[in-house]
Structure 1
Amino acid sequence: MCAVPAPRVRPRLRGVAEGRPRLQTRESFCHSTVLLMGQRSGRQERSKKPEMSLSENMKAEEEDDREENKELKTKDQRLPLVFGVADLKNGAVGLYNVGQTCCLNSLLQVFLMNIHFTRILRRITVPPYASLKRNNVPYQMLLLLEKMQSGKQKAVSPIDLAMCLSTHRVNMFIQHDAAQLFLTLWNLVKRQMKDQDLVTKLSDLYTICVQEHLACQICSSEMKRNSNMLTLPLPVLDSNSHMLKTLEDCLQCFFHPEELTGHNMCFCEYCDKKTPFLQSMKLVHLPQTLTIHLKRFCFERSTNVYKLSHCLPFPQELDFNAVLTEQQSQAHGSEKAAWRYEIFAVVAHSGSTNSGHYCAYIRSLTECKWYCFNDSTVCQVSWDDVKCTYGHSDLNWGQTAYLLIYMKKHPQ
């Protein structure tokens, strides 16, 4: 049966304001403090059954869990045999839009097409009870992976995972910001993994480490601290609000020292007052899977949010050693030697800040072919098609790259 295309909707885009374009100040880097998005919606229906005592209620829930566990037992036994969507054994599989879930669908495709992520996902501990399984994000992602791999459908429904996310305050029926939803999904997966070895592997797969330097311009005292990030948030405007022309320019701008003056001054313990500081960033560590967030959404002092759609090319291969100077890195030679990447996926946004749509362009790691995942519609594309996401100032509804996912190249 042919896949029914998702209805064309132009949902509200929420959570896209990211700072004034004039300054493009750096944001907080600690991923452990990421807030969950969305709110619970709808009313709870009152039960028509007579109220039970606490012990009776617990027994009833345990009985329900046992019944549901019987139904899931066979499926759970099959889970270790899942090879992963990235192998594309039955062709690329789409995801139906079940309520403005184009953002979620795009991110799920990026996660599940990453064989390094699915290797970790396939090793999770299956929750013991049905109620726990329903609310466990990594387990529901694993079920979706199995469903996409084992069937012959051109598209499947992510409704079970979407309902699971709604219990964690990630609502359906609203449009999410892809960068924020990526952080939310990753944190939920990490939080619900019981095996600490897998948690470590997940962190190693995605975590970026930078060293922040703050130098007082009066007494020359210096403070250093290491910060971990899941995405590298790159400005697309420089400090004078000029449009940056390439991804390499954005990287240089992010790691370029910034003067903190006026109300941006910091308190100096040695001067015992607020003083001008020089802030700089040094790159310490890059992971296997590198996620770059292009800060396309900005707001002015009037709080009007707008999208920066100008053309910003990004390369197929990216060598950080050729982009950053010696002063912009704080790493050993063996670490820096591995800072060579090739593009793996692009999450693109079309539309404006008020309405829009997400899709994902992903390169199969086994076939080395590019696919466009647009909800339930999946088609093979070329690199020239991917380059159409560079952006164009005159095409407000055109596709614009928002998240870039690079994969570390293996040494020859």
Structure 2
Amino acid sequence: MSNQQIQIDENTINQLQQAGYTINQILLAIEAVNSQNDLSQFNKYLKYAQNNYDELYSIVYPQQKTFKSNQPFQSNNSSNQIKKQNSTKIMTRNSQLPVGLINGGNICYFNSLLQLMLRNPIFVKIIFNYQVQFCNDKFDNFLNSLQKLFANLLLSNSVCYDASEVLQFMFWNQQDLELIGKQQDFRELCELFLQRVDQSLMEKRNSPYQSQPILESDFFFKNQILQKQFLLSDNFQKNILFIPADLNFTSIYNTLFNGFGQQQKELKIPENLFFSISRYSFNRNTQNVVKLTSDFTIHTEIYIDFILKYIPEVNQLFQNFNDSKNYSIESNLDYQQFQKQIDSFQDVIKYYQTIQNHNMIQQLTSDLNLLKIQDSSQFSKKERNYRWLHQQLSQFCFQKYYLHSIVVHLGNANKGHYFIYIYNFSKQKWFSYNDAIVEQVLEDDVLKISKNNGYIVTYISEQQRQAIKQQEEIIDIIQQNNLSYELYETLELQQMIPFNLFQEIYSHNLNLIN
């Protein structure tokens, strides 16, 4: 095996610093990876350096004194220092991981959206089917930039790609430009993004090279494919892109039941269901928007038949379920109290760690572990009851939707960070897309973090799931093999990705030193 070394370019350095890592931590993670000759462990060592810097330092440099992670880094140019301490190798993507996206400045919400859209093969096909005219108008430029983005995310061997061009061409007027770096709401950005795609396709529909089905009506989208993919509509032509999920409903199932289950409307269900959890509220006393972190249960599968037609048995089932003692308001408050107590214990333990009172640390840690056991028992009981509800619904319902992604927001309402969890149906694994950092994660961790911080939740139909799975299998073959003309023809990628983009990315991959 060749001795692989790692070097990070300046954009990735900036991205890692924005994610909260110090230069010292980045350097130590690089040295740890190089000493083990395993590029795939970079993210692991990066977190290790952040949480246990001294311990990792003693492993990497057993004969040296620890260089404390909280000491200032003695260099005027952090990127030059990193270059000095590494070989001339360029950091290439781990073949087991997808391509990340560079955060050029407060655009984590946009990167999360783009990663989600890439995992929609119907949407990707719409974009690639557009024949770029290179006429330098805003519609053509926007669609062209999207094609380049998707092609690079699918074919590139780079760790990450810069999507700033897409953002630049998506904003068409001065008011839009003022939102760059300021827009914080994923939902609003998603609506703007899809409208821009729809408007661009509609503007170009008269081109002799384009052919897109158009709905000549007052629908949210004119493009029929976009409507079938994303819009929930009723017989009054009311269109919903994001289904509002009130925290008081406590779960996705209760959201559907309270929002649609008791209505007598003819609904058209899209292939993708988007839920927006009400994590933000206006505080009249402080006159500020505050973020809410109450529990909200996200199911990995849901039946939706009861929102399409009235099913008496299902209505009775939900009424009995929500009237039960296990899901009373008092029970939910008890569970929230457990969380507050655990947080308080952890804060006190940190204090005694700073003054090195080992007896108190030992006692408090023991008490904390007992509290966590009780907390886990409460949570498990809640999960068991929701599984029971799902099982009961299966007796009357047959149309199933599957959890596909969760957009998570960390921080407060005014300042925070977005990233997205996306499920890979082919590999049956979850992946975290945190700007340039992409890694595999456990489902338990996904649901644990999302129950208090999940903001946008998406589900997909069985038909959509099969299409996504097929695209995932193709992407996996590309990622596991060196990109070549033979592979381009064998996988019939010419039906998906324009040849000029393939050539450009193929040449770029050759310049990456493995």
| Pick aligned residue for 2:239 from 228, 234, 241 | 228
Identify the residue that residue 187 of structure 1 maps to in structure 2. 195
1:166 positional shift: 3.4
- State the SS of the aligned residue for 2:296: coil
Runs of 4+ in 1 over 6 A off after TM superposition: none
Paired residue secondary structure (2:267): strand
Query: Structure 1 CA distance, aligned partners of 2:307 and 2:449?
Result: 22
Alpha-carbon separation, structure 1, partners of 2:165 and 2:256 = 39
Which whole-Å CA distance do the structure 2 matches of 1:369 and 1:354 have between them?
32
Q: Give the conservation status (yes or no) of the 8 Å contact 2:429–2:443.
A: no
List per-residue Cα deviations over 1:197-235 (Å, max 9, x = no partner): 272112211111135xxxxxxxxxxxxx33112121222
Match of 2:411 in 1: 351
Q: Is the 8 A contact 2:405 2:457 kept in 1?
A: yes
Amino acid at match of 2:462: K
CA distance in 1, matches of 2:259, 2:306: 15
What residue identity is the alignment partner of 1:342? Answer: Y
Pairwise mapping of residues 313-324 of structure 1 onto structure 2 (< 5 A)? 313-321=297-305
> Is 2:229 the counterpart of 1:205?
yes
Task: Choose the corresponding residue for 2:116, options 110, 113, 125.
Answer: 110
Give the one of 368, 372, 376 matched to 2:428: 368
Q: Unpaired segments of 5 or more residues in structure 2?
A: 1-6, 21-93, 206-210, 215-222, 315-395, 467-514
User: Aligned in 2, Cα 1:283/1:346: closer, same or farther, shift over 3 Å?
Assistant: farther
Please give the residue correspondences for 1:173-184 in structure 2 after superposition, counting only pairs within 5 Å.
173-184=181-192
Give the 5 Å matches for 1:247-258.
247-255=252-260
Supply the distance in 1 between the matched residues of 2:127 and 2:456 (Cα, whole angstroms). 22
The 5-angstrom pairing of residues 281-292 of structure 1 reads: 282=265, 284-292=267-275
Question: Residues 338 and 180 of structure 1: is their aligned pair in 2 closer, same or farther, counting only changes over 3 Å?
Answer: farther
Work out which of the residue numbers 391, 399, 404 in structure 1 matches 2:451: 391
- Give per-residue Cα distances to partners, 1:38-64, cap 9 Å, x unaligned: xxxxxxxxxxxxxxxxxxxxxxxxxxx
- In structure 2, the CA distance between the partners of 1:338 and 1:117, relative to structure 1 (3 Å rule), is farther
Q: Of Structure 1 and Structure 2, which has the larger fraction of its residues in strand?
A: 1
Identify unmatched segments of 5+ residues in structure 1: 11-87, 212-224, 238-243, 258-279, 330-335, 393-399
Equivalent-residue separation in structure 2 for 1:324 and 1:285 (angstroms)? 8
Work out whether 1:160 is the aligned partner of 2:186: no
Alignment-derived partner of residue 290 in structure 2:
306
Could you tell me how far 1:112 is from its partner in structure 2?
0.7
What's 2:142 paired with?
Answer: 137
Amino acid at match of 1:209: S
2:238 match: secondary structure: strand
Following superposition, the deviation at residue 369 of structure 1 comes to: 2.2
User: Secondary structure of 2:132's match?
Assistant: coil
Counterpart of 2:437 (choices 377, 382, 392) is 377
- Structure 1 counterpart SS, 2:234: strand
Q: Contact conserved, 2:132 with 2:143, CA < 8 A, in 1?
A: no
The counterpart of 1:122, out of the listed 116, 128, 146, is 128
- C-alpha distance in structure 2 between counterparts of 1:90 and 1:121, whole Å: 26
Cα pair 2:134 2:140 within 8 Å, conserved: no
Residue 409 of structure 1: aligned partner? 462
Q: Distance in 2 between matches of 1:256 and 1:197?
A: 32
* Partners of 1:207 and 1:229 within 8 A in 2: yes
Rounded to whole Å, the distance in 1 between the matches of 2:444 and 2:112 is 20
| Residue 281 of structure 1: how far off its partner (Å) | 7.0
Secondary structure of the equivalent of 1:128?
Answer: coil
Match of 1:341 among 394, 401, 416: 401
If the length of structure 1 is used for normalisation, what is the TM-score?
Answer: 0.61
1:327/1:298 Cα in 2 relative to 1: closer, same or farther (>3 Å)?
Answer: farther
Q: 1:339–1:190: structure 2 CA closer, same or farther, 3 Å change rule?
A: farther
Q: Give the CA deviation at 1:134.
A: 7.9
Residues 133, 140 of structure 2: 8 Å contact kept: no
Larger helix percent: 2
- CA–CA separation in structure 2 for the residues paired with 1:245 and 1:291: 17
The answer to which of 401-410 and 314-323 deviates more is 314-323
> How many angstroms apart in 1 are the aligned matches of 2:419 and 2:448?
13
Q: Given the superposition, is the C-alpha separation of residues 6 and 174 from structure 1 closer, same or farther in structure 2, using an over 3 Å criterion?
A: farther
Identity %: 23
Q: Tell me if structure 2 keeps the 8 A contact 1:291–1:403.
A: yes
Q: Give the secondary structure class of the aligned counterpart of 2:403.
A: strand
Could you say what the CA RMSD is over the residues aligned between the two structures, in angstroms? 3.0
- 1:304-353 CA deviation, whole Å, 9 max, x = no partner? 31222111111110101367871799xxxxxx977410011111111111
Letter in 2 for 1:166: F
Contact 2:279 2:292 in 1 (8 A): yes
> Helix, strand or coil: the match of 2:137?
helix
Secondary structure at 1:183 match in 2: helix
Aligned to 2:321: none
TM-score by length of 2: 0.50
The secondary structure found in structure 2 opposite 1:164 is helix
Larger Rg: 2
Change (3 A) 1:283 1:297: farther
Q: CA deviation at 1:365?
A: 4.1
The within-5 A match list for 1:321-332 is: 321=305, 326=310
Q: Give secondary structure in 1 for the equivalent of 2:180.
A: coil
Contact preservation (8 Å) 1:89, 1:149: no
Aligned partners of 1:100, 1:404: CA distance in 2, in Å?
A: 22
Q: Distance in 2 between matches of 1:164 and 1:103?
A: 17
